[in-house]
Amino acid sequence: MASLYVAKQQLRSAMKNKLGAIPQESTLSQSSVVCNTLKTFKPYVEAKRVSVFLSMPTGEIQTDAIVRHALESGKEVFVPYLHKNPLASSDLPVRVMDMVRLDSMRDYEALEPDRWGIPSIDPATVHDRLRIFGGPDAHHSDKALLDLILLPGVAFDRDPDTGAIRRLGHGKGFYDYFLDRHKAKSMALGKQESSPVLLYGLALSEQFLSSPSEGSVPVGPLDQPLDGLILGNGEIKTPTGNKTAP
């Protein structure tokens, strides 16, 4: 596990330099392509409950237009909310992620940026929102599940042996733990086999490692493969090795 940690940190460091050199104009252009690709992408079109990450100002796909389109399309849009883990245990993360629903476009536009410049949910409003996990005050969270999760990442690739789409996150494990909990909840509700949540990464073209010379994404037993990856050049990478244009 120590060697896995070192490998991940080395790739994160290399990617930080690589992404820092991408002009903002390119980031915005690629973000527009990803949004337009999603508009006709069947898993997104058919999804009723969508989780969308809210972007950092630089270094990743900007999701503002995606959130707006999803809200305008009548989808239930959920965004990440980080909070202290209510379950105290040395085996569990201290901070965890839930997904909370945006009430409206006006609600979304009222979000204030955090210290990293990411629009964030006001903690004072959380208890009034529908959440995927929630607590005793969230009376409708017991049956809330997501259809589609659009994930960020630092780097992505395709496993040369299995064809799986691999993702390197930022190292906090928020999505790994959330996805484990979502799967457990889905199984408890008897929905895991009939309607599993779909996981699609959104990435700048530079974030996809297409050849061994660029490196590879190291993964461990807790890292979940993706159902696909949508790139800023319009490509949709799939686990089967297929590439399809929008």
The response to whether 174 counts as a known ligand-binding position is: yes
Kindly give, in sequence order, each residue whose CB lies less than 8 Å from that of residue 143, ignoring residues fewer than 6 positions away: 189
Separation between Cα atoms, residue 231 and residue 61, nearest integer Å: 9
Closest CA to 52 of 41, 43, 62, 42: 62
Separation between Cα atoms, residue 133 and residue 84, nearest integer Å: 13
Separation between Cα atoms, residue 45 and residue 73, nearest integer Å: 9
The response to whether 169 counts as a known ligand-binding position is: yes
Closest CA to 165 of 123, 127, 128, 199: 199
The response to whether 60 counts as a known ligand-binding position is: yes
The response to whether 8 counts as a known ligand-binding position is: yes
The response to whether 12 counts as a known ligand-binding position is: yes
The response to whether 10 counts as a known ligand-binding position is: yes
DSSP conformation class of 225: P
The response to whether 173 counts as a known ligand-binding position is: yes
Separation between Cα atoms, residue 37 and residue 232, nearest integer Å: 9
Closest CA to 220 of 13, 12, 5: 5
The response to whether 9 counts as a known ligand-binding position is: yes
Residue numbers belonging to the annotated binding site? 8-12, 54, 60, 167-175
Residue numbers belonging to the annotated binding site for ATP? 8-12, 167-175
Residue numbers belonging to the annotated binding site for substrate? 54, 60
